[in-house]
Structures are given as C-alpha cells and as structure tokens.
Amino acid sequence: MSLIWRCGRHEIVCGERTLVMGILNPTPDSFSDGGQLATVEAALERAVHMVGDGADILDVGGESTRPGSEPVDEEDEIDRVVPVIERIVEAMPDVPVSVDTRKASVAAEALRAGASIVNDVSSGGDPEMFGVVSGHGAGMVLMHMLGEPKTMQEDPFYDDVVDDVHAYLDGKIEAASAAGIDRESLCIDPGIGFGKTLDHNLRLMKEVAGFLDLGRPLLVGPSRKRFIGTLLDVEVDERMEGTAGAVAWLGSHGVHVVRVHDVKEMVRVVRVVDAIGGA
C-alpha cells in the first residue's frame, strides 16, 4: 500500500519502491564521516554525487547524536547546516532536503533556507518544534530515543522493546497531530541504536513490519551502526556489507525509507530487493 508523505512543496510517494535517504554530516565529530565535509563546497559535491547515485532525499545534520556525544550550540549548528541546505536547494530544487536536528531554532532556519523535512531524534522534545514544523507545512520524522545521546546507551531497559517503541511512536503521532501537524506530513523511525542493546536492535528489525499498522511511512537508519560492528567485529569503515544485509531485510519487510551513508551501494541493494518482491 502506498502512502503520501507531504513535506512542504514535495509530495513523496512511499511504498511503490524502497526510498533511499542519503546522510550528509557537515560536522567534525560525526561517528562515521566526521570532518570529511568541512566546507560547503565539499558538502554540495557529496550531495550531487548522492543524488546521481540514486538518493531520493538528502538529510543534513550539524550535531552528532552518536552515543556519548555532547550537545552543540544552536548558532554553531545553524552555521553548519544552513549554508549547505541553501546550496543544495539552489542546485537541486526538486530533491527533498531534511534537516537532522533536535532544536526548533535550527529547524526554523533550515526550513527558511529551503529544507522541507525535520528529522528530529527527540520527536518534539523541544516544546517549540511542533509549532515550527506546522507553521512551515513541513514533513517530520518522529524517532524513538531512550534518554539523551550522551547517556542513552547506559543500560537501556524495556518491558518489551517492540511494544514500548510502538506505543511511544503512536503517542508521538497523536501529539504532533494535536499540535497542528498534518498526519500525512509525519514519518516514523524506531530509532535503531538510540538507547538500545544489540538484542533490542535485532528484535526491532526482525519485527519491523509491526510498525506499519501506525499508518505512516516507516524510516529506518541502520547504516554503519555499532550493532553491525558488534556482530561482525569490524570498525566503522568496514560495515558496508553488514549495512547492506540490514537494508535488504528492512526493504523486504515493508520499510519505506532507509537512511544510509553509502548511497550507490544501497540503492543497488533495494533495487534488487524491490524487483524480487514485485515479481
């Protein structure tokens, strides 16, 4: 079943094929590619390559949310993401751009710069966030995170991780809708790696189809994450094959959008998965 994800001037059709969101982190401390996109020109070049490789959406983040990370000052975060978003939108106006931020002030500046989606790991933890998204008619990703990035991996506990995350996301959909955001503007993300043990992550992925009954597009970001390193005993730069395995599983179980670093390779993975599923 196809769903429409309304994101400002963009209407993204979800369900006809697996969509790929490419990750752009113009920040010095990203867990995977920190410091590689130190200039606006470098970030734009990466963005153009990602779209050429098949990215459907670009996600720009100026604050690392890896386990143990420290918050970034809002002005620094704005300075990192807004010039990049402006250049991407100018160069590729038909490509939806998402800003990965927990701060309403950053989201507001990014949306004014041309972004059309707010990817918020705190799901409106900033009390002004829902109002900013609603006021701009933007799309929003509601993600589950247990606690804060700095402490989220300190002994995370759930009664039942799938049921607990499902209930949380259901509640966030209702809260965002009550705050004036169109339900069709919402997307959900169970938050792989955000306050979860290895077993929690594996169960969420194994039972990911259970989130489809919430009636909104489902986004999952397994790319290069620690659970892959743990399973394969490899460092960040050797996690592509593990990411591909996770992406193939997710795409074959109804996930609408996968958020990844290695766009060309994962586009190829989901094209094969989609072809098998549609045969």
pLDDT digits (tens, 9 = 90+) for 213-260: 999 999 999 999 999 999 999 999 999 999 999 999 999 999 999 999
Average pLDDT taken over every residue of the chain: 94
Cα separation of 176 and 197, whole Å? 28
Q: What is the pLDDT of residue 1?
A: 74
H-run or E-run covering 168: helix 161-178
Beta bridge partners of 12: 5
Known catalytic residue at 172 = no
Q: What is the average pLDDT across 177-200? A: 97
- In the beta sheet, which residues pair with residue 7? 10
Q: What are the residues whose beta carbons fall under 8 Å from the beta carbon of 26, sequence distance 6 or more?
A: 37, 38, 40, 43, 60, 61, 62, 80, 81, 84
Q: For residue 25, give Cα distances in angstroms to 9, 29, 44, 194, 231.
A: 24, 9, 11, 18, 25
Run of H or E residues at 88: helix 74-91
Confidence of residue 37 (pLDDT cuts 50, 70, 90): low
Q: Which residue's structure tokens are 């039972």?
A: 207
> What per-residue confidence (pLDDT) applies to 26?
87
Instruction: For residue 237, give its domain range.
Output: 3-277
pLDDT-based confidence at residue 70 (cuts at 50, 70, 90): confident
Round to whole Å and give the CA distance between 248 and 212: 17
Predicted confidence (pLDDT) at residue 31 exceeds the cutoff of 50: no
Q: Higher pLDDT residue, 65 or 218?
A: 218
Report the candidate in 149, 188, 146 with the shortest Cα–Cα distance to residue 171.
Answer: 188
- Whether 150 sits among the annotated catalytic residues: the reply is no
Catalytic residue (choose from 6, 102, 172, 259): 259
The single residue of 6, 80, 216, 225 carrying the catalytic annotation is 225
DSSP 147: S
Comparing 34 with 67, the larger pLDDT belongs to: 67
CA distance 47 to 57: 10
Report pLDDT digits (tens) over 164-187.
999 999 999 999 999 999 999 999
For residue 163, how many other CB atoms are within 10 A of its CB? Answer: 12
Task: Identify whether the C-beta of residue 32 lies closer than 8 Å to the C-beta of residue 272.
Answer: no
Span 126-169, pLDDT tens digits: 999 999 999 999 999 999 999 777 776 777 899 999 999 999 99
DSSP 137: T
Strand runs labelled E in the chain: 3-7, 10-14, 19-24, 57-61, 97-100, 117-120, 139-143, 186-189, 219-220, 257-260
Q: What total of structural domains would you count in the chain? A: 1
Q: Is the pTM of this model over 0.85?
A: yes
Q: Examine the pLDDT at 124 and tell me if it is beyond 50.
A: yes
Q: CA-to-CA distance for 114 and 46, rounded, in angstroms?
A: 18
pLDDT of 68 above 90: no
Question: The CATH number of the domain where 50 resides is what?
Answer: 3.20.20.20
Question: Quick one: residue 123, left, alpha or beta (phi over 0 = left, psi -120 to 50 = alpha)?
Answer: left
